[in-house]
Amino acid sequence: MDIRVHKTKRSIFNAFLQLRATKPLEKISVRELCQTAQINKSTFYKYYADLYDLSDQMESQVIDQIVANLAHPEAIVEDPGTFTRELTLACSSQSVLINALFSGNRREKLVVKLRNAIKELLFQNHPDYRDNDAIHIYLTYAVFGGYYAMSECKEYDRQRVCAVLEEILETSSRLLLEKW
């Protein structure tokens, strides 16, 4: 990538993050973003269709970083305890960006995109899982349930929440592999 393009996109990303830290996506205008990034509107539109396109691309980059930090994606079925620890660490490493990009009404997008990315990674390694409806249901349960348990149980020690989630997922995974 041309260094000028890289610098321009970095300026846009930084300005967007700065604005998202204080405002919901719906309250940010392209004009305001361009002023903050010190670019022309035509420059913005050269790379993005609108602010939702920018947000979606940035969100996808964060998800890609999280998934890239999962050494054993197949562990979600075969060793959910390891997977839970890896996913928690991977999300923690991106927490600043997650909090900025996935705040407000974008919150649910995180868990949906994360589940979809984990599914694709798992199916690349285990194509036989792709047509197994029980695996799809389990993955949704594991990712959505784990995410909401972590975000809603902040009054408890994080390690304790992880330990309980690991046990729940270990048990449900064992049942899944035995029965289906």
Q: Say whether both 101 and 24 belong to one domain.
A: no
pTM of the model as a whole: 0.86
Q: Say whether both 12 and 96 belong to one domain.
A: no
Q: Say whether both 111 and 172 belong to one domain.
A: yes
| pLDDT recorded at residue 1 | 67
Expressed as residue numbers, the domain containing 162 is 56-179
Q: Say whether both 100 and 80 belong to one domain.
A: yes
Q: Say whether both 16 and 78 belong to one domain.
A: no
Q: Say whether both 71 and 138 belong to one domain.
A: yes
CATH number (domain holding residue 14):
1.10.10.60
Q: Say whether both 34 and 107 belong to one domain.
A: no
Q: Say whether both 157 and 173 belong to one domain.
A: yes
Identity at 161, one-letter amino acid code: V
| pLDDT recorded at residue 81 | 87
Q: Say whether both 75 and 149 belong to one domain.
A: yes
C-alpha 19 chain-centroid distance: 20
Identity at 145, one-letter amino acid code: G
- The two tokens of residue 117 are 């990315």
Question: Per residue in 51-86, pLDDT tens?
Answer: 999 999 999 999 999 999 888 877 888 899 888 889
Q: Say whether both 91 and 129 belong to one domain.
A: yes
Cβ within 8 Å of residue 77, ≥6 positions away:
122, 126, 129, 135, 138, 173, 176, 177
Q: Name the residue with tokens 């309980």.
A: 164
- The two tokens of residue 14 are 């930084």
Query: How many domains are there within the chain?
Result: 2
Q: Say whether both 117 and 151 belong to one domain.
A: yes
Q: Say whether both 82 and 142 belong to one domain.
A: yes
Q: What is the DSSP string of 34-68?
A: HHHHT--HHHHHHH-SSHHHHHHHHHHHHHHHHHH
**How confident is the prediction along the chain (180 residues), in pLDDT tens digits per residue?**
689 989 999 999 999 999 999 999 999 999 999 999 999 999 999 999 999 999 999 999 999 999 998 888 778 888 998 888 899 889 989 999 999 999 888 888 999 999 999 999 999 989 999 999 999 999 999 999 998 998 899 899 988 999 999 999 999 998 888 877
